[in-house]
């Protein structure tokens, strides 16, 4: 904060400059001025925040000087010093916006007090301006976002008009040529940046935003995990090349990875929402494409979508891995499943998320069956986290390994834990020829001993349990699908359709065809 002293008397100027330690008061003392005219010549360049001036000087007096200073720098605080105790002067000075009126006979303490009052006035004024600026910027950003996305945060702006932000955009040099007044081609680009670590993520986005603002004719908005950029652009490949160069410059300078998703070019501010929606759709592919590069709508529009549900074969493979309690095998299987999906050129983020969610559901359904056998309350499968900054293999393995651990912890506390492992194994192999000897070998028991314990614990012989599980599985398939009866028979381990139908009617009271028509009878 700077202060200038103005007085035609050398002794007064020198005294005010030396008697008071202005630096200690947090003020920078400018060279004093001998007259109002000299002061007015220097003030536009030196811009003092506080002026300490004599009221009576040759030429222009202090009151007229105060009036002229306020025209140039309206926020300047002015303290008048006079050798005359004239109330009329004091009134006139205050009318011209003077902060205080002191006699030259006042001691240093009074002068310091008046100066500190002026300084406090400025600090309060600046703080108010800062708050108003922040609030105005926040409102502008919210309205800007609302215009692009069609939504807004907070009820405060729910009824606010978009006219001010549209006007701001249209009059900004980014979107309007000063000479023609015609709106230039625009596009929305969404920018993500990584590479500085989680604790420095926000700092990296701020740095990237500042660089983009310097490199491109654009307006920007920092939002959540990305930067929204509205940029004036050239048409065709020339505009894309310029954008690529800017992104590469940010990446090289900040030593980070930059992912950019661009919407199509539009020629109206009112069409920016369409460009934003296109950019947002492309941005969702970041989890497939990685954290580096520029992608446009044409790079994703050919993707029709991959599988959304895992196959029965994959579900059986998963069950076997969970049953074996081998983390290395489970990790290998998980990596393979995710890699196959990522390499599928038809996959979209939505279908990939659905497919991975179906694997988690299959794992928890398998766990729930074991819990029910143990009289434990079951729960629903969690939602798969699907964020660009995670490795899908790691996230999927985390969920699956927790299911595997939960199952083996559950059965390890049971006296006959091998029976629970055996029933889980049987359910996972209903589509195969699964003999008592095969299951007994899996749980490392003598077949005769296993048969005796199995009937004691389940209340059924091995064949009774196996047939019942097959019929229950068949009933669920008939309820939920339009598969042929022969396909249903194959999925529960029967090659002979006639024999399957006989067994099904024996357990369910009707043939498979009739059951499909009237499943609740």
Taking the C-alpha atoms of residue 318 and residue 424, their distance in angstroms, rounded to an integer, is 12
Residue 38: what pLDDT? Answer: 92
Residue closest to 249 by CA, chosen among 282, 284, 289, 207: 207
Query: Which pLDDT band, with edges at 50, 70 and 90, does 182 fall under?
Result: very low
226-232 vs 186-194, strand pairing mode = antiparallel
How far apart (Å, rounded) are the C-alpha atoms in residues 330 and 404?
A: 9
Q: How many CB atoms lie within 10 A of CB 275?
A: 21
Q: Return the percentage of the chain with pLDDT > 70, whole number.
A: 85
Candidates 240, 42, 224, 60; CA nearest to 149 is: 224
Model-level pTM? Answer: 0.57
Which residues, 6+ apart, have CB-to-CB distance to 393 below 8 Å?
A: 334, 335, 338, 339
Q: Is the pLDDT at 358 greater than 80, yes or no?
A: yes
Please compute Rg for the chain using Cα positions: 39
Query: Which of the listed ranges 60-64, 313-317, 404-408, 467-471 does the model predict with the highest average pLDDT?
Result: 467-471
What integer is the mean pLDDT of 89-108? Answer: 72
483 φ, ψ (degrees, to nearest 5): -65, 150
**What is the pLDDT, as a whole number, of residue 104?**
77
**pLDDT tens readout for residues 188-246:** 999 999 988 887 888 888 889 888 888 888 888 888 788 988 888 876 788 889 899 99
Average pLDDT estimate for 453-461: 83
Q: How many whole angstroms separate alpha carbon 281 and alpha carbon 252?
A: 26
Q: Is the dihedral of CA 383, 388, 393, 395 positive or negative?
A: negative
Tell me the per-residue pLDDT of 66-75, one tens digit each, with 9 for 90 and over.
Answer: 888 888 888 8
Give me the pLDDT at residue 419, please.
Answer: 81
- Angle at alpha carbon of residue 510, lines to 505 and 511, rounded to 5°: 70
Most confident of 154-158, 219-223, 314-318: 314-318
Q: Which residues pair with 6 in a beta bridge?
A: 33, 53
Domains and CATH numbers, the chain: 2-125 (3.40.50.2300), 163-299 (3.30.70.270), 366-515 (1.10.10.60)
The dihedral sign for the CA sequence 368, 371, 377, 382? negative
Q: Which helix (H) or strand (E) holds 172?
A: none
DSSP state letters, 218-236 = EEEEEETTEEEEEEE--SH
Per-residue model confidence as pLDDT tens digits over 2-57: 999 998 888 888 888 888 888 888 899 999 999 899 999 998 889 999 999 888 88
């Amino acid at each position: 904060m700077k202060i200038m002293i103005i007085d035609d008397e050398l002794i007064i100027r020198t005294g005010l400059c030396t008697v008071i330690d202005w630096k200690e008061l947090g003020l920078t003392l400018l060279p004093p001025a001998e007259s109002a005219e000299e002061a007015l010549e220097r003030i536009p360049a030196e811009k003092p925040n506080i002026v300490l001036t004599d009221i009576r000087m040759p030429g222009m007096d202090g009151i007229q000087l105060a009036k002229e200073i306020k025209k140039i720098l309206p926020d300047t605080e002015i303290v008048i010093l006079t050798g005359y105790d004239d109330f009329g002067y004091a009134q006139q000075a205050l009318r011209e916006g003077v902060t205080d009126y002191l006699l030259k006979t006042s001691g240093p303490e009074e002068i310091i007090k008046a100066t500190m009052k002026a300084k406090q006035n400025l600090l309060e004024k600046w703080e108010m301006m800062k708050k108003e600026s922040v609030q105005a910027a926040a409102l502008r950003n919210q309205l800007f976002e609302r215009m692009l996305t069609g939504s807004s945060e907070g009820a405060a702006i729910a009824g606010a008009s978009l006219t001010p932000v549209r006007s701001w955009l249209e009059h900004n040099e980014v979107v309007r040529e000063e000479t023609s007044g015609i709106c230039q081609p625009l596009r929305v680009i969404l920018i993500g940046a990584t590479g500085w670590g989680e604790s420095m993520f926000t700092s990296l986005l701020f740095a990237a935003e500042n660089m983009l603002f310097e490199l491109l004719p654009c307006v920007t908005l920092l939002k959540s995990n990305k930067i929204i950029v509205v940029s004036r652009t050239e048409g065709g490949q020339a505009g894309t090349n310029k954008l690529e160069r800017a992104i590469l410059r940010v990446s090289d300078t900040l030593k980070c990875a930059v992912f950019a998703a661009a919407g199509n070019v539009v020629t109206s501010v009112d069409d920016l929402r369409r460009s934003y929606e296109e950019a947002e759709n492309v941005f969702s592919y970041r989890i497939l494409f990685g954290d580096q590069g520029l992608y446009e709508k044409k790079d994703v529009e050919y993707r029709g979508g991959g599988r959304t549900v895992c196959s029965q074969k994959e579900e059986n493979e998963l069950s076997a891995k969970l049953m074996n309690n081998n983390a290395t095998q489970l990790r290998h299987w998980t990596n393979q499943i995710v890699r196959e999906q990522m390499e599928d050129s038809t996959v979209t983020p939505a279908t990939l998320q659905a497919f991975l969610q179906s694997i988690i559901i299959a794992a928890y359904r398998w766990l729930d069956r074991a819990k029910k056998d143990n009289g434990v309350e079951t729960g629903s499968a969690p939602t798969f986290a699907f964020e660009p900054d995670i490795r899908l293999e790691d996230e999927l393995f985390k969920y699956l390994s927790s299911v595997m651990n939960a199952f083996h912890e559950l059965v390890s506390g049971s006296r006959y834990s091998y029976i629970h492992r055996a029933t889980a194994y049987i359910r996972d192999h209903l589509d195969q020829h699964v003999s008592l000897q095969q299951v007994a070998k899996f749980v490392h028991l003598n077949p005769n001993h296993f048969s005796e314990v199995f009937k004691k614990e389940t209340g059924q012989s091995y064949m009774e349990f196996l047939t019942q599980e097959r019929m229950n599985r068949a009933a669920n398939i008939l309820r939920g699908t339009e598969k042929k009866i022969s396909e249903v028979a194959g999925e529960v381990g029967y090659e002979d359709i006639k024999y399957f139908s006989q067994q099904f009617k024996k357990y369910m009271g009707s043939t498979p065809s009739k059951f499909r028509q009237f499943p609740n009878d």
